[in-house]
Every structure is written in structure tokens, then in C-alpha cells.
Amino acid sequence: MSGHVAEKTKDKHHETKHDHKEKLDEALEQGLEDTFPASDPVNLTQPAPSKKDQNIKRKD
């Protein structure tokens, strides 16, 4: 019986990862549609701080 519970937990975790990837894919697709035509691709990540901005704390 404990194997069945572990299997459900594993499936739930897998679905969560899959759902997260789908949300990111949808956000990327929407961003591409909103900015088309454009020369620069959409950036979904926060760029690293420049040397000048290293003392400023950023939110993740």
C-alpha cells in the first residue's frame, strides 16, 4: 500500500513539473505574439546584475 502512495506522490510531482513547463511555454508564446514582428527574442529570465549594480539586491 505504501508503494501506491509513493506512486501517487511521484505522479503529482511529475504533473506539477509538466504544468509549470506548460505555463512557461504559454508565457513565451504569448510574449512572442505580443512582440511580433521584432528583432529581439523575448527574455523570460532576469539578467545578471552589472558590476555597477552589484550592491543592489534584486527580487528573484
Domain range summary for the chain, segments of one domain joined by +:
10-55
Cα torsion for 53, 45, 27, 31, to the nearest 10°? 60
What's the whole-number mean pLDDT along residues 21-35?
A: 88
Query: Which pLDDT score is estimated for 25?
Result: 93
What is the average pLDDT across 38-53? 72
**How many of the other CB atoms lie within 10 Å of CB of 2?**
6
| Chain-centroid distance, C-alpha 7 | 25
Higher pLDDT, 37 or 29: 29
pLDDT-derived band at 26 (thresholds 50, 70, 90) equals: very high
* Contact status, residue 58 vs residue 49, Cβ threshold 8 Å: yes
- Mean pLDDT, rounded, for 31-54: 74
Average pLDDT of the chain, as a whole number: 73
* Banded pLDDT at 32 (limits 50, 70, 90): confident
3-state SS of 33-54 is HHHCCCCCCCCCCCCCCCHHHC
